[in-house]
Structure 1
Amino acid sequence: MRKVIAGLFHSVDGVVEAPNLFQFDSFDDELGEEMGVIMGEIGTVLMGRVGYSEWAGYWPNASQDLDFAAFINGVQKFVASETLEPSGITWTNASLIESDFLDFVRELKAGEGSDICAMGGISLVRQLVFAGLMDELTLITHPVIAGTGRHLFEPGDPTTRLELIRARTTSKGNVVQVYRRLAQHS
């Protein structure tokens, strides 16, 4: 069985939207190493419509000398969208999910292969966490208060118990925290 994971950059005040606006001066070599290890374990990426649209417009044209560009352009990508058509998915190795998103992930997860990672989609990560399909959630906290932007979790979300399985602080003060969901008791 494959593992479903996600990694999100976020600020001390919990903002996960547009981390490029606040992470630039705190990215360090140790964080780069962490990202390299994670990328090495991923065989499939899940994306939402907005993330796909933004990334497909940027990464195919980025320097392939960048580790992330080489990774994201080469990896198998599945896009969850109710508004895109299959013909609108033009990025190499990308396909539209044309069935129920959670059922699709359950089928992927049941198969053989490397990790499945949700990227470029806050709502996808939320769906996977609350459906009990997320095996590991990595939160990379940058030492900054962003002030504005979407949070991963919102008031009114169901109580969901997590277990910290690994944590590391980098030289520039980033905290990498890896959680897994605890089994829910009734």
Structure 2
Amino acid sequence: MPRRIIGAAFVSLDGVMQAPGGPDEDWTGGFDQGGWLAALFDEGIGNQVDSVFKPPFDLLLGRRTYEIFAAHWPFAPEGDEIGDLFRSIRKYVLTSRATPLAWAGSERLAGIDALAALRDSDGPNLVIQGSSTLYPQLLERGLLDRIVTMTAPIVLGTGKRMFGDGTPPRSLELVEHRLTRNGIAMATYDVKGAVGIADFQFPEPSEAEIARRARIAAGEGW
């Protein structure tokens, strides 16, 4: 049975997903708010994480997130639930770099075509964690099937965003929505297709509206 690709992300209210777990996780770009999710962690998030990481599945990671994980999870003590799980599963890394992947069970995907072929093959679902650079290209190619967001009630202002530059417009269908004790909004969406366009404007625009459109068309701005 073909796989599905499921993205699971911790995000702030303004869409930042960089370094939720600790201050030293990822300070790229001078990001100094690492650990913002750990301060809000509660049993509701724990239950959602357990549901996302319910075997069988394989991990799908971007190169930078892979390096963060590979420097941490292989060294988790025996008996650590996530550490033991990640040691036992396959890790696929979408990267153009040919640098060897030292974490046991890791495999390089050289490009989006290789990932598309993997998705069409038989096997467990592919779960993304972190890896903000994957989302625009997966949506563009129609490879992302489901998105699970855990949105914290905070605004970070700067940092890597889940849907950054190059993200194409897509519509989503809400599958499930819950709220945790600490105010984390957990939502599951299936990716559907093109964005539906409708119109709240009057059937006949006013003279002021016609003039406004003419100014914009002439490049006069607002």
The reply to whether TM is greater than 0.5 is: yes
The 1-side partners of 2:155 and 2:175 are apart by 25
Question: Partner residue of 2:202?
Answer: none
1:15-164 equivalences in 2 (<5 Å): 15-20=16-21, 21-85=35-99, 88-98=100-110, 101-154=111-164, 157-164=167-174
The answer to whether the 8 Å contact 2:170/2:193 transfers is no
How many residue pairs get matched? 182
Q: RMSD of aligned C-alpha atoms?
A: 2.0
Deviation, structure 1 residue 116: 0.7
Unaligned runs of 5+ in 1: none
| Moved beyond 6 Å, runs of 4+ | none
Q: Give the secondary structure class of the aligned counterpart of 1:141.
A: strand
In structure 2, do the counterparts of structure 1 residues 6 and 64 end up closer, same or farther at CA, with 3 Å as the change threshold? farther
How far does the alpha carbon of each residue in 1:123-143 deviate from its partner, in whole angstroms, 9 at most, with x for none?
112211221111001111012
Counterpart-to-counterpart distance in 1, 2:5 and 2:186: 18
Residues of 1 paired with 2:166 and 2:129: CA distance? 24
Structure 2 counterpart of 1:37, which letter? S
Task: Assess if the C-alpha contact under 8 Å between 2:137 and 2:167 holds in 1.
Answer: no
Residues 49 and 84 of structure 1: CA distance in aligned 2, closer, same or farther (over 3 Å): farther
Moved more, 152-161 or 1-10: 152-161
1:77 & 1:154 partners in 2: Cα distance? 24
Higher relative contact order (CA 8 A, sep 6+): 1
Residue 77 (structure 1) shift: 0.6
Identity %: 26
Would the alpha carbon gap of residues 157 and 80 (structure 1) be closer, same or farther in structure 2, given more than 3 Å must change?
closer
SS in 2 for 1:40: coil
CA contact (8 A) 2:8 2:149 kept: yes
8 Å Cα contact 1:42-1:116 kept in structure 2? no
| Paired residues of 2:136 and 2:166 also in contact (CA < 8 A) | no
SS in 1 for 2:37: coil
Q: Is the 8 A contact 1:41 1:115 kept in 2?
A: no
Whether 2:184 is the aligned partner of 1:174: answer yes
Q: CA deviation at 1:57?
A: 0.9
